[in-house]
Structure formats: C-alpha cells, structure tokens
Amino acid sequence: MQTILLIAAAALYLVCALLPARQGALITAVTGLAWLVHGVALWFDVLAPGTLRIGFATMLSSALWVSVCAYWVENRNFSLDGLRRLVMPSAALSVALQALFPGVLVTLEGKSGMFGWHIAIAIMAYSSLTIAAFHAVLMALQESRLHTRTEGGGFLAGALDQLPALLTMEKLLFRLIGFGFVLLSLTVLSGIVFSEQLFGQALKWDHKSVFTMLSWLLFAALLAGRRFRGWRGKTALSFTLAGFATLLLAYVGSRFVFEVVLHRGLA
C-alpha cells in the first residue's frame, strides 16, 4: 500500500514539475494532490502503531513534504514558478528514495513523550532550511541570469524571468532562515536538555551533534551579519548553502553512510 502511494506521489510531483507555467490552476491542483498522497504515505509508513520509522530517506522525504507545502503557501503571494522547477523533482526523488531505503523501526515503548516532539521539531527545522536552500539556489540563478541575459534560454530561464525582484526574494529568504533557525535552536536545546530522557544517555559529541552545532553557528553568524553588518547577496547565499549542507551531513548524510554504505542499523 505504502509503495503504491509513494510511486503515485513521485509521478504526480514529476507531472507538476513538467506542466507549463501558464496552467496555474492545474499546477495548484496537482501539487495539492501530490502533497496529500505523499502525506498519507508518510503517515502509514512512518507512524506504525507503537513505533517510529527513522532513516535518511524518511527524513529527506518528510522534509521535502513540508517544503512542498511551504512552496505552495509562498506561491500564493508571489510568482515562484522557478522554485517549482527545483522543489518538485527533488520531492519526487526523495519519495523514490523512501521506497528504496525504508530505514528502521524504532519502538516508542519506554521512551519519553519528548522524543516525538524532538523528531517533529527537527523535521520542521530541516524542512524550513531546505526550502531556504532551494530559495538561495534560485536567487543565485536569478542573479546570474540578470548578468548574462540573453533571449530565450529554455525551460528554467522562462521561470526565472517570472520571479519577483531580487530584493523581494532576499526578504523571503531571510524570513525562511529566521523561522528555520528558531526551530533548529529548539532542536538543539531539546537535544541538550532532554538528552537522557530522549535517548537514554547523556549528550555525547558524535558526528550528528558536531555537524548540527556547526550548522547552527553558521546560520547564527548569517543572521547576526545581516542584522549588524548588512550582509546580503553572495555572502548571504554562501552562508545559507554552507549551513544547509552542514545540516544535511548532520543526519541525512550520516544515516546514508550507516544504512547504505555500511549496512548498519540506527546510530
């Protein structure tokens, strides 16, 4: 059942990515349907009775599910067709990976009620900063398009030409980063304060903790630089992508190594 739903969601995301921009109503409808099917698949696959499925593909799929929702909300206020060209294929890929690499089931028996909240906040933080990373890539492409503008340019170029002004895009980017940073801070805080209740052991500085803290520091530096030094443009984009890449390594990257490369269980 879950596999069929995941295949359907991936197919719908790809259809949505390929629809021409002029078919706005159809894009909205297909996006909503794909998001619902994806959500139902996640519900049945991740939240089995008394257990929680955890893995790199599951985390990636959950993050892209929230990111699709964020795109849909943003696109109602601004024309962000270029973002669709990036988010939808990525969502389709994440769904396919979830079907191929299901991860492991973790029993919730004996675990603190904080465990579920910690995972949920972490996924929201990943999701917010994932869509911010897509946004940053889109801004970099938009800026490059402005500097090397030529007629035509194909599928993506047309979508880039429809984006709001760079200043508007930058405001949206920092709104996303600010929201994601608050959630990331809550994730870090809950991991520190409730480590023994959540995981049955005191906090240890493993690869996940180190990369998460490094990502937190990069985003904190970016927001401080924006506030006090007026950072923008390439500096802001570089910090955003570096912070996201580090966060990706913190969990998704490490879980990928354990599950796919080393064929080991939860770590």
Of residues 262 and 174, more confidently modeled: 174
For the entire predicted model, the pTM comes to 0.76
pLDDT tens-place string over residues 54-113: 777 888 888 889 889 888 888 777 777 778 888 899 999 999 988 888 777 667 666 666
Q: What whole-number distance in Å separates Cα of residue 83 and Cα of residue 87? A: 6
Give the domain ranges of the chain. 2-261
Query: What is the arithmetic mean of pLDDT over 19-35?
Result: 89
pLDDT tens-place string over residues 163-212: 778 888 888 889 889 999 999 998 888 777 766 655 555 566 677 778 88
Q: What whole-number distance in Å separates Cα of residue 56 and Cα of residue 253? A: 7
Burial class (CB in 10 A: 0-12, 13-18, 19+), 88: buried
pLDDT at 118: 75
pLDDT tens-place string over residues 204-233: 667 777 888 899 999 999 999 998 988 888
How many Cβ atoms are within 10 Å of 244's Cβ, its own excluded? 24
Residue 183, CB-side half-sphere exposure with 13 Å CA sphere = 21
